[in-house]
Structure 1
Amino acid sequence: MRRVSPHCSGLSLSLSLPADPGPHSLRYFYTAVSEPGPGLPQFTVVGYLDDQLFFHFDSEGKGAQPRAPWIQAEGPEYWDRQTWIAKGWQEAFNGNVRIAMEHYNQSGVRGLHTFQYMYGCQLRADGSTGGFRQYGYDGRDFLSYDTRTPTWVAPSKEAEITKGKMDADRRLSQQQRDYLERKCVEWLQKYLGYGKETLQRRERPAMRVTGRDAPGGPTTLCCRAHGFYPRDIALSWLRKGESREQETWRGGVLPNGDGTYHAWATVELDPRERGLYRCHVERESLAQPLVAVWGEAGGCGRWMKWGGVTGRLPGPGCDRGASLDTSLGWGVTMEPAWIPAWPGCNRGASLDPSLAGV
């Protein structure tokens, strides 16, 4: 397996921690394919700061390109250097695909094969840091770097030869560790400084709880959080203060077009017990959890509790009814009054377990 140099490994920085210590992450992904085609370059590199794409290079383009406004703080020399480095990676990774195919006895066999590499570092909320490196082949783990040992871990026999070669190179191992523990974190801090207005902002979630009755069957309650940033959030359903985790379907935390996130969670219950259920929302940026409390079906008054303060809000069909889709049924709202409908909440799709991770 050919060696791949770390991103920006020839540079050294000395920076202080950002005002917001985390959690934040800097990650790079490399992908090489055996059979490129339209819309599928032979080699691609992308970089993410937290969940925001900021760096892109592919073998069909003109060079490394910025993908976030804040990274344009770096001048032409930065992008020229990144293009030069990425082109070097391109040659190495094209060879890595062929070597991996030999390990798996796939040489000469037509078909699409991928070789991938992910590495980066993270800055945790307590100020501690951590790094990671991992190789993959055809969607399966190939090698991963254990920073504690430090050694490479091979989950399959096909990767044992590569593991032995990389572990035997002590100089390479020290370079890998130094990059993850020091240089990567320094670049993470620098990029956070560039994008702090976007990446270190705090947007609290707008909440909406809706319900749907199945004729002669159970009621489905859906709790939706919308427009929050960063992406950390925990939605749960409680019955008389006790978690109903085993009965809850979740939709994951997904991005909105404006850079914020949304999430939802549903639960099935006996219609006679809907007043016993509470949607409980926790985030690191909230001093206290948000609790949405159900009122009576068909009534206009809805109760919700935010940070210990309870208020009465209008529901669908009341004074804010014009801005709401009345087909969503009864529920509670908070600003903004209208939250987009998502699959799984108001059309029954949340009852399909295959959609739990959508």
Structure 2
Amino acid sequence: MQHPLFLLLLLLLHGSPIGSFTVRLLQISTFQNTSFVDTEGFGLLEDIELGALDKRTWNIHFYQPWVRPALPRSDWDTIENMIKIYLQKFSHLINDGASARDVPCEYLVFSCMAGCELYSNRTSRAFAYVGYNGQDFLSYDVDHGKWILYEDTDLSRYVQATLQNYTAFSELVQVLFNDTCVDDMELLLRYGKAALARQEPPVATVFARAPSPAQLLLVCHVTGFYPRPISVAWLRDGQEVLPGPALTTGAILPNSDLTYQLRIVLAVSPGDGHSYTCRIRHRSLGTRSLLIPWGRF
């Protein structure tokens, strides 16, 4: 079963555009007091969990058997050492900055995401973002080597200035994401080809609820599908119902087995004489659609 935090992070991530792939390094650090910080970290290729940090040692534990063989040992050593140095510096940075600015260093939550996106023409885009207590905090402009403020506060200006002067870290980020992204990503894509090509067909159920005598809610629940992109629509007499107040499409949610689920609800009048069908299109189905009729009532 996947870690609950990992499932939560999947809710925050959007799939890469068609023809591109993204590697993300995710960090959540919770400062419970000045002497203790709890840090969790994950590495993702698209939505495949490559590995996670050991909370005590900050060593990397790999979750996919093909990850470690994909990259040279020297690359993994560089990444692991960089992570350990960065986390140590990050903890000191936040503690010192919060103390100097009378910010209580209790239950401060920082979330960081860094990575790169590789396009089909072998160009790439690197990125790094920092959030603070659920709000955007800083981002790193890789092209210009500058940290950009989202929230203009004493603490954010202090962190920005300190990171800006932490040239060794900035240079290492530049090297990792600009110089090695394409080569290392292509190796990961080659070794992880089978995992990325995995397909699980959707299973759909149609049922109804009656919140009032004047309204019927037709629910199409689709689950167990992978990869994430999917198209689900309600058809009225064979014609797609367009977006509007009667149609509610939920978010695509992760299941614990790294498949996804989605629910789409259509409000109708009982006995309106129309027939309704839920139509599902997904990569695993090829060119055909899965049609689940509700029928005429």
Asked whether the 8 Å contact 1:43–1:93 carries over to 2, the reply is no
Q: How does 1:29-44 map to 2 (within 5 A)?
A: 29-35=26-32, 42-44=38-40
Structure 2 distance, partners of 1:228, 1:242, is: 23
| Greater share of strand | 2
Structure 2 distance, partners of 1:110, 1:146, is: 28
- Please report the TM-score for the alignment, with normalisation by the length of structure 2: 0.74
- Pick closer, same or farther for the CA change 1:282–1:174 going to 2, 3 Å: farther
Q: How many residues align?
A: 273
> 1:91 matched to which residue of 2?
88
- Pick closer, same or farther for the CA change 1:295–1:104 going to 2, 3 Å: farther
Higher relative contact order (CA closer than 8 Å, sequence separation 6+): 2
- Pick closer, same or farther for the CA change 1:262–1:151 going to 2, 3 Å: same
Q: How does 1:131-170 map to 2 (within 5 A)?
A: 131-147=126-142, 151-158=146-153, 159-163=156-160
Q: 1:66 aligns with which of 62, 65, 80?
A: 62
Structure 2 distance, partners of 1:233, 1:113, is: 37
> 1:347 matched to which residue of 2?
none
- Pick closer, same or farther for the CA change 1:53–1:245 going to 2, 3 Å: farther
1:140-181 per-residue CA deviation (whole Å, 9 max, x = no partner) reads 211113456664321122223544565688997676455434
> 1:263 matched to which residue of 2?
262
Q: How does 1:181-200 map to 2 (within 5 A)?
A: 181-200=178-197
- Pick closer, same or farther for the CA change 1:290–1:187 going to 2, 3 Å: same
1:14-36 per-residue CA deviation (whole Å, 9 max, x = no partner) reads xxxxxxx8443210012333227
Q: 1:57 aligns with which of 53, 57, 63?
A: 53
**Amino acid in structure 1 at the alignment position of 2:221:** R
Q: 1:233 aligns with which of 223, 230, 234?
A: 230
Q: Which secondary structure state, in structure 1, belongs to the residue aligned with residue 185 of structure 2?
A: helix
> 1:203 matched to which residue of 2?
200
C-alpha displacement at 1:83, in angstroms? Answer: 4.5
Residue 119 (1) aligns with residue 128 (2):
no
C-alpha displacement at 1:134, in angstroms? Answer: 0.4
| CA root-mean-square deviation | 3.7
Uncovered stretches (5+) of structure 2, i.e. residues with no partner? 1-17
Q: Which secondary structure state, in structure 1, belongs to the residue aligned with residue 137 of structure 2?
A: strand
Asked whether the 8 Å contact 1:64–1:82 carries over to 2, the reply is no
C-alpha displacement at 1:75, in angstroms? Answer: 8.9
> 1:48 matched to which residue of 2?
44
> 1:130 matched to which residue of 2?
125
Asked whether the 8 Å contact 1:213–1:219 carries over to 2, the reply is yes
C-alpha displacement at 1:259, in angstroms? Answer: 2.6
- Pick closer, same or farther for the CA change 1:91–1:196 going to 2, 3 Å: same
Structure 2 distance, partners of 1:34, 1:152, is: 22
C-alpha displacement at 1:295, in angstroms? Answer: 1.5
Residue 220 (1) aligns with residue 181 (2):
no
C-alpha displacement at 1:206, in angstroms? Answer: 2.7
**Amino acid in structure 2 at the alignment position of 1:213:** A
1:245-269 per-residue CA deviation (whole Å, 9 max, x = no partner) reads 4333333222233332221211221
Structure 2 distance, partners of 1:283, 1:150, is: 40
- Pick closer, same or farther for the CA change 1:43–1:259 going to 2, 3 Å: closer
**Amino acid in structure 2 at the alignment position of 1:251:** G
> 2:295 matched to which residue of 1?
295
**Amino acid in structure 1 at the alignment position of 2:247:** T
Task: Using the aligned pairs only, state the percent identity.
Answer: 25
Q: Indicate the larger mover: 138-147 or 124-133.
A: 124-133
Uncovered stretches (5+) of structure 1, i.e. residues with no partner? 1-20, 298-358
1:93-148 per-residue CA deviation (whole Å, 9 max, x = no partner) reads 21132144257630xx3521123321012235787643221012222211113456
Q: Indicate the larger mover: 96-105 or 63-72.
A: 96-105
Asked whether the 8 Å contact 2:275–2:295 carries over to 1, the reply is no
- Pick closer, same or farther for the CA change 1:110–1:41 going to 2, 3 Å: closer
Structure 1 distance, partners of 2:143, 2:68, is: 35
Asked whether the 8 Å contact 1:54–1:67 carries over to 2, the reply is yes
Q: Which secondary structure state, in structure 2, belongs to the residue aligned with residue 192 of structure 1?
A: helix
Which structure has the larger Rg?
Answer: 1
C-alpha displacement at 1:219, in angstroms? Answer: 1.3
Q: Which secondary structure state, in structure 2, belongs to the residue aligned with residue 42 of structure 1?
A: strand
Q: How does 1:336-355 map to 2 (within 5 A)?
A: none
- Pick closer, same or farther for the CA change 1:105–1:73 going to 2, 3 Å: same
